[in-house]
Structure 1
Amino acid sequence: MPFISKIQRQTDYTLFGSATPIVIDNGASYFRIGWAGETQPRVVFRNIVQRPRHKTTGETVTIVGDHDPALLKYFDCTRSGPRSAFDSNVVYQFEIMEYILDFGFDRLGATGSEIDHPVLITECVSNPVQSRSKMGELLFETYGVPSIAFGVDAAFSYKYNQQQGVCDKDGLAMCPGFNTTHVIPFVDGEPIYKGCCRTNIGGFHVTDYLKQLLSLKYPHHMTRFTWEKVEDLKMEHCYIAPDYASEARLFLKGAREAEEKTRCWQLPWVPPPTEEPPSEEEIARKAAIKERQGQRLREMAEAKRSSKINELENELHGLEFLLKQLEQVQDSNVPSFLAETGYVSRQEIESARTKVTQSLRKAKGEPKNEQAETDKASPNANEKYSLINIPDDMLTPDQLIEKKKQLSLKSMSEGRQRLKQKRYEEELERQRKQLLEEETRLENPELYLEQLRARYKDLSVKVDQRKRLKTNGGHSNGNNLAGAIGRGERLNAVQRERMRLLTTAAFDRGKGEDTFGAKDEDWQLYKLMSKDIDDGDEGPDEDDAELARISSRLQDLDPTFVPNKSEAGSSQPAAEAQRARPLTKEDFQIVFGVERFRCPEILFNPNWIAVDQAGLHEMAGVSIRRLSCKDEGLEERLTSSILVTGGSSLFPGITERLEAGIRMIRPCGAPIKVVRALDPVMDAWRGAAAFASAPQFHTQTFSRMDYFEKGEDWLRNYQIKYSS
């Protein structure tokens, strides 16, 4: 089964004799393996296994420990994530444990299938006998080791620091590890397991809590917070606050001490390219290109205009030539001549000539001569509507039909002329009012602004009242509340007239037989009602337009003017949507403030993450009380030598916080001394390596013969002596 790893394989395995023990520190976070008597392990890797499949070949590979993220792009990891053999610091997945042991022995240099060296492997305190027996079965039957010794990692660390003079024979070993935290009392150099204490809180939970807080604080950078990166951030930035409440108040107030304790992690960020202003040569070059393009477009437009003028002139010449020929044709031959040309009458030809003439003048850019056109159109009108003034009894049926058409066309033409003249007069009147208003403003600007504001206020009240009446006009609650009016007062004159017509019609029908519709006059009622409704809508539109005009005028003249919300929402143009600002360097910064000490605080307050157990400082008092000793001096000796070991003891300030917390539960003046191990991470392996190199080690092992003879139940009472 192939392995993927960056760890180099050892080459001196054969140089060690079969009596040299192999020391394994089987931690929940890291796996360390080496030789007894040495000061450093040979192989160290993460205690996890991942088994993805290759995307091309489909072959399953085993990735043990740390891996190269760039290499994983060739594998399908969606169905196989990193897995650990531990559950709360107890090995329970021995299939994964076998992969880890295979990899560890392979990197140590073992070539055969059997390991002919004694093995000392660490475990947690009060390890279940089932886990210990399964581990013994795996080592004896799969690897064929000659003998095994089981020892507690925290005890090895305490004994190693005791030999170095850091702690005494009587004391407490506090080990906040990866998944759990243990407290072991030592008396005369030996651990007293009946006084042990454990909580299911450790560095894993601190990292997970920090990952959650950062993901909530920076959701747009959530993919950046991988487990490995958050673990590094935790070890680099987190610390234990001496007093959590006072430390949190510093950050709440934004004190200078809080700013000094704030850390920043800058994510990769590439600044957008800055646009340099173009040089004069570049501006001149672009202007020349634009001028050439404009000249080319003007030439194309001129060519198109000339072509259109030629076409219109040819068409005009053809129409004039056609009219000259029509004059020479006899009246009897006119219909046949017109049938060949495609025109119906002479008037149609003249109308086409007039349109072509107007188009030609427009193409040439000549100004319009409205008076000449009117004078020219007046005599033509008599010819165009020649049947209007002739009595009906002198016309044939076809001519009567033509007369009706001419009457309709003439009325429509006159209506358009009147509408055009009305618009022209309205435009002149509007220009006149604007000039007069501008003169008034120039004479007295302050008075003009005051009058304009008053006019705006009156119109606003009027428009708001009309909108309120329109909204409340469909129902009436019968209550004369503040601002409320009756049904009759809510209707304007047009609406009241409409209601009168409906009431009259209903009253007439109720007198007797319903004969509505029998006469043509009855149907005029609907025309009157629709006419009233159309007439009633003209006023509000004029008010809204005038209000919008005055509002725009005030905004131009008065910078302090603020339009009403309703008027701004209806008449003012919609505000332009705010554009997304460009991302800056600050948008890619992860700021660690209160998170630095809030996450490790769960070691002392596990209930913050829903773990209803004792904190780290409370565990010391629980462990001392469990001893139930009559010797009062023993308690003082235990608190006088408290050793903190394990990976989670690397947080700055943990010893001071522990000492302050334990002092709160001990009598006043009791001696308390808390020290950190020389190397909280490696001291467990070093203590085990020193223990395995002692001559008495072979007397405390559990051999393969004992396993086959006594069975795995004998491991239930198996304990080594650390002081031998």
Structure 2
Amino acid sequence: MPFISKIQRQNDFNLFDSQTPIVIDNGASYFRIGWAGESEPRVVFRNIVQRPRHKVTGETVTIVGDHDPALLKYFDCTRSGPRSAFDSNVVYQFETMEYILDFGFDRMGANGMEIDHPVLITECACNPVQSRSKMAELLFETYGVPSIAFGVDVAFSYKYNQQQGVCAKDGLALCPGFTTTHVIPFVDGEPVYRGSCRTNIGGFHVTDYLKQLLSLKYPYHLAAFTWEKVEDLKMEHCYVAPDYLSEARLFQKGAKEAEEKTRCWQLPWVPPPTEEPPSEEEIARKAAIKEKQSQRLREMAEAKKSSKINELENELHALEFLLHQLDQVKESEVPSFLAETGYVSRLEIESERNKVMQSLRKVKGEPKNEQAEIEKADLAANEKYSLINIADDMLTQEQLNEKKKQLSLKSMAEGRQRLKQKRYEEELERERQQQLEEEKRLENPGLYLEQLLARYKDLSERVDQQKRLKTNGGHSNGNNLSGGVGRGERLNAAQRERMRLLTTAAFDRGKGEDTFGIRDEDWQLYKLMSKDYANDDDEEPDEDEAELTRISSRLQELDATFIPKSDVGFSQPAEVPRFKPLTKEDFQISLGVERFRCPEMLFSPNWIGVDQVGLDEMTGVSIRRLQFKDESLEERLTSSILVTGGSSLYPGIVERLEAGIRMIRPCGSPIKIVRALDPVMDAWRGAASFASDSQFHLQTFSRQDYYEKGEDWLRNYQLQYTL
């Protein structure tokens, strides 16, 4: 089975005698395995398994414990997340447990799956017999272990510290672990499991709660809050407050002590590059490049102009040569000659020549001969409308009809010409006004912008008022709301026509009998009303609105902070949102009240919905369950309270426990609480010391006993810790 791990494989497995036991501390957080009699385990890794597939080959690999983030980019981890074999400190996923044992024995240096060494493995207090039976079956059937012994990790830690003189034979062992918290009383050095107590709260819940708080506080840094990083932050910065309410008030008031207790975690941050002003050499270089590009564009434009002039001159020479040839052709041969050239008449050739001449003159930039143009236009008009100046009595009936058509066409042409001339004059006037405004702006830009803004404000108010008058006729219902259609003089032409049709229909209906609808002509009224109403919005825009649009576009060009009104009647925002560059402070994670708020759940599990007692109350529950008649024994138990487990490393937890236990014990009761020498490793060290004893084999049961006695023998199995 392929493994991916940074843990080196041991190479001295075959050097140990087959009677040397293998010691396994199978914790819910970490898996520790080593040899009996040694002071440190050989292999330590997280008790999790992940089985992703390679993105290219599709091969499934097994990742046990900590993984290398640099290698995971080659694997697809979307369908396979980290899995644990534990549920509330009890092993229930033995398929996952098999991967962990395979990896542990492989890192120890075992060749193959045959393990010919006795095994001492830890379990939780009062472990269900079903879990113990499955573990024995896995070790006997899969690995061929000759004998097994099961022991409680908390008991091994207590016995190890008892040997070191830290605690007495009679006492209490408090173990806030990864997913659960246990309290086990010890009498004469042996655990009394009928007085043990357990709550489903531990370091996992503390880390998860801290991760939730940081994610809610800094939602834009979610990617930085990985489980491993939050675990490190918890162990580095969290502590247990002596009095939670008093500590919370310090942070609520913002006292100086709260600022001193606040810690900051700086995320990776790269300052944006500062833009320095360009030097004179850089400006000169860019100007030279720009001038070179401009010169190149001018040369290209000049070449294009020369090519266009040559093309038009050649076309003009061709047309003049064609007219010259047409003059030399006989009248009878003109149609055949024109058919060969593609033109219909001589007039078409001359018209095409005039167009080419105008285009050539325009390309060369020569001024137009206005007088010649007018004379040519008059001459063309006289030729086109030849019957207009002839008296009617000199024309036939057909010529009179043609004369009427020519008069109509001429009047329409003159109207279009006048409209064109008017638009041309308006354009000249607009250009002149723009030139004057540009001169004013150049003289005093600030004053010009203020005047333009004032003009824009006045026009906006005027257009708003006109819109309100068109909507409600200049009055309201007292609540600044529209009151329906207003006075008739405020309506436009289409609305007034509609009102007239309605009035006429109502007036006619009031005369005698109501006969509306009998005739087909009566229904034309609806068509007229619908037509007028549909053309209600076809009116030309008001001059004020056009001027307002022009000033708005001009202000957008001059002032980058100006925002025009999206619609008439809506207010302009007070200030424009501006982009704020990210600074170093934006990448700082502040840990204040979270430092003591998260570990507080060990004493108040109801914060996360666990309806159980806290760590200090568990000692009272455990003592009451013993029901000893000897009162001095209770005093001996509280005089030697050992705190072990990974979650006992928080600063202040011993003082907080002592204060909490004093509140539930009689006044004057002796209370002594000590922390284990190494709360994390003492369980394995105690088990290794126990397995190295010469009488250890008396506490194990062999594979033959398992085959003969089965699960019932495991049900009554209990390790004796005093050899």
Report TM bin, short chain: 0.7 to 0.9
- The one-character-per-residue Cα deviations of 1:679-710 (angstroms, maximum 9, x if unpaired) are 00001111122223334434333344544454
State the secondary structure of the residue aligned to 1:516: helix
Contact kept in structure 2, 1:175 and 1:646, CA below 8 Å: yes
Residue in structure 2 matched with residue 444 of structure 1 by the alignment: none
C-alpha distance in 2, partners of 1:438/1:108?
87
Residue in structure 2 matched with residue 205 of structure 1 by the alignment: 205
Residue in structure 2 matched with residue 174 of structure 1 by the alignment: 174
Contact kept in structure 2, 1:115 and 1:145, CA below 8 Å: yes
Residue in structure 2 matched with residue 665 of structure 1 by the alignment: 664
Provide closer, same or farther for how the CA distance between residues 408 and 237 of structure 1 changes in structure 2, counting only shifts above 3 A: farther
Tell me the amino acid that sits aligned with residue 420 of structure 2.
K
Residue in structure 2 matched with residue 189 of structure 1 by the alignment: 189
Residues 1:514 and 2:516 aligned together: no
State the number of aligned residues.
711
Residues 1:627 and 2:629 aligned together: no
Contact kept in structure 2, 1:52 and 1:77, CA below 8 Å: yes
Provide closer, same or farther for how the CA distance between residues 471 and 376 of structure 1 changes in structure 2, counting only shifts above 3 A: same
State the secondary structure of the residue aligned to 2:542: helix
Question: Where do residues 138-177 of structure 1 align in structure 2 (5 Å cutoff)?
Answer: 138-177=138-177
C-alpha distance in 1, partners of 2:117/2:499?
114
Task: Report deviation, 1:147.
Answer: 3.6
Provide closer, same or farther for how the CA distance between residues 2 and 390 of structure 1 changes in structure 2, counting only shifts above 3 A: same
Residue in structure 2 matched with residue 86 of structure 1 by the alignment: 86
Contact kept in structure 1, 2:472 and 2:483, CA below 8 Å: no
Question: Where do residues 558-707 of structure 1 align in structure 2 (5 Å cutoff)?
Answer: 566-567=567-568, 588-707=587-706
Provide closer, same or farther for how the CA distance between residues 418 and 242 of structure 1 changes in structure 2, counting only shifts above 3 A: farther
Residue in structure 2 matched with residue 489 of structure 1 by the alignment: 487
Tell me the amino acid that sits aligned with residue 20 of structure 1.
T
C-alpha distance in 2, partners of 1:388/1:408?
10
Greater Cα offset, 526-535 or 274-283: 526-535
Contact kept in structure 2, 1:31 and 1:45, CA below 8 Å: yes
Greater Cα offset, 157-166 or 257-266: 257-266
Contact kept in structure 2, 1:347 and 1:384, CA below 8 Å: no
C-alpha distance in 2, partners of 1:485/1:56?
72
Greater Cα offset, 35-44 or 698-707: 698-707
Provide closer, same or farther for how the CA distance between residues 213 and 343 of structure 1 changes in structure 2, counting only shifts above 3 A: same
C-alpha distance in 1, partners of 2:580/2:458?
42
Residues 1:119 and 2:119 aligned together: yes
Residue in structure 2 matched with residue 503 of structure 1 by the alignment: 502
Residue in structure 1 matched with residue 539 of structure 2 by the alignment: 537
Contact kept in structure 1, 2:472 and 2:486, CA below 8 Å: no
C-alpha distance in 1, partners of 2:554/2:113?
95
Residue in structure 2 matched with residue 100 of structure 1 by the alignment: 100
Task: Report deviation, 1:135.
Answer: 2.6
C-alpha distance in 1, partners of 2:332/2:383?
19
Contact kept in structure 1, 2:498 and 2:529, CA below 8 Å: no
Task: Report deviation, 1:173.
Answer: 1.1
* Aligned-pair Cα RMSD in Å: 4.9
Question: Where do residues 415-430 of structure 1 align in structure 2 (5 Å cutoff)?
Answer: 415-423=415-423, 426=426
Tell me the amino acid that sits aligned with residue 29 of structure 1.
S
Contact kept in structure 1, 2:53 and 2:76, CA below 8 Å: yes
Tell me the amino acid that sits aligned with residue 537 of structure 1.
E
C-alpha distance in 1, partners of 2:150/2:296?
94
Tell me the amino acid that sits aligned with residue 697 of structure 1.
F
C-alpha distance in 2, partners of 1:576/1:314?
63
State the secondary structure of the residue aligned to 2:24: strand
Contact kept in structure 1, 2:22 and 2:34, CA below 8 Å: yes
C-alpha distance in 2, partners of 1:373/1:531?
46
Residue in structure 2 matched with residue 25 of structure 1 by the alignment: 25
C-alpha distance in 2, partners of 1:440/1:230?
64
Tell me the amino acid that sits aligned with residue 494 of structure 1.
A
Contact kept in structure 2, 1:347 and 1:383, CA below 8 Å: no
Tell me the amino acid that sits aligned with residue 543 of structure 1.
D
Task: Report deviation, 1:716.
Answer: 2.5
Tell me the amino acid that sits aligned with residue 514 of structure 1.
R
Task: Report deviation, 1:614.
Answer: 1.9
Q: Which runs of 5+ in 2 are unaligned?
A: 442-446, 510-514
Contact kept in structure 2, 1:84 and 1:96, CA below 8 Å: yes
Greater Cα offset, 18-27 or 324-333: 324-333
- The one-character-per-residue Cα deviations of 1:50-70 (angstroms, maximum 9, x if unpaired) are 344555665554443334344
C-alpha distance in 1, partners of 2:426/2:656?
88
State the secondary structure of the residue aligned to 1:149: strand
Residue in structure 1 matched with residue 444 of structure 2 by the alignment: none
Residue in structure 1 matched with residue 364 of structure 2 by the alignment: 364
C-alpha distance in 1, partners of 2:146/2:673?
40
Provide closer, same or farther for how the CA distance between residues 685 and 458 of structure 1 changes in structure 2, counting only shifts above 3 A: closer
Contact kept in structure 1, 2:123 and 2:150, CA below 8 Å: yes
Greater Cα offset, 14-23 or 334-343: 334-343
Provide closer, same or farther for how the CA distance between residues 563 and 587 of structure 1 changes in structure 2, counting only shifts above 3 A: closer
C-alpha distance in 1, partners of 2:324/2:529?
52
Residues 1:716 and 2:721 aligned together: no
Greater Cα offset, 334-343 or 221-230: 334-343
Contact kept in structure 2, 1:480 and 1:486, CA below 8 Å: no
Contact kept in structure 2, 1:498 and 1:532, CA below 8 Å: no
Task: Report deviation, 1:175.
Answer: 0.5
Provide closer, same or farther for how the CA distance between residues 527 and 115 of structure 1 changes in structure 2, counting only shifts above 3 A: closer
Contact kept in structure 2, 1:147 and 1:703, CA below 8 Å: yes
Contact kept in structure 2, 1:180 and 1:198, CA below 8 Å: yes
**TM-score normalised by structure 2 residue count:** 0.81
Task: Report deviation, 1:363.
Answer: 1.8
State the secondary structure of the residue aligned to 1:209: helix
Tell me the amino acid that sits aligned with residue 662 of structure 1.
I
C-alpha distance in 1, partners of 2:45/2:609?
31
Residues 1:39 and 2:57 aligned together: no
Contact kept in structure 2, 1:156 and 1:687, CA below 8 Å: yes
State the secondary structure of the residue aligned to 1:168: coil
Provide closer, same or farther for how the CA distance between residues 332 and 508 of structure 1 changes in structure 2, counting only shifts above 3 A: farther
Provide closer, same or farther for how the CA distance between residues 237 and 319 of structure 1 changes in structure 2, counting only shifts above 3 A: same
Task: Report deviation, 1:613.
Answer: 1.9
Contact kept in structure 2, 1:498 and 1:529, CA below 8 Å: no
State the secondary structure of the residue aligned to 1:412: helix
C-alpha distance in 2, partners of 1:454/1:584?
39
C-alpha distance in 2, partners of 1:12/1:545?
93
C-alpha distance in 2, partners of 1:188/1:705?
33
State the secondary structure of the residue aligned to 1:82: coil
Provide closer, same or farther for how the CA distance between residues 461 and 108 of structure 1 changes in structure 2, counting only shifts above 3 A: closer
- The one-character-per-residue Cα deviations of 1:644-679 (angstroms, maximum 9, x if unpaired) are 111111222222332333334334554433322110
C-alpha distance in 2, partners of 1:558/1:59?
62
C-alpha distance in 2, partners of 1:250/1:163?
43
Task: Report deviation, 1:134.
Answer: 2.8
C-alpha distance in 1, partners of 2:207/2:115?
37
Question: Where do residues 211-290 of structure 1 align in structure 2 (5 Å cutoff)?
Answer: 211-252=211-252, 254-270=254-270, 278-290=278-290
Task: Report deviation, 1:498.
Answer: 0.5
Task: Report deviation, 1:241.
Answer: 3.1
Task: Report deviation, 1:246.
Answer: 4.1
C-alpha distance in 1, partners of 2:218/2:467?
46
Percent of residue pairs bearing the same amino acid type: 79
Question: Where do residues 352-391 of structure 1 align in structure 2 (5 Å cutoff)?
Answer: 352=352, 354-371=354-371, 373-390=373-390
Provide closer, same or farther for how the CA distance between residues 153 and 534 of structure 1 changes in structure 2, counting only shifts above 3 A: closer
Task: Report deviation, 1:393.
Answer: 7.0
Tell me the amino acid that sits aligned with residue 464 of structure 1.
D
Contact kept in structure 1, 2:195 and 2:623, CA below 8 Å: yes
C-alpha distance in 2, partners of 1:560/1:23?
74
Residue in structure 1 matched with residue 297 of structure 2 by the alignment: 297
Contact kept in structure 1, 2:338 and 2:345, CA below 8 Å: yes
Q: Which runs of 5+ in 1 are unaligned?
A: 442-446
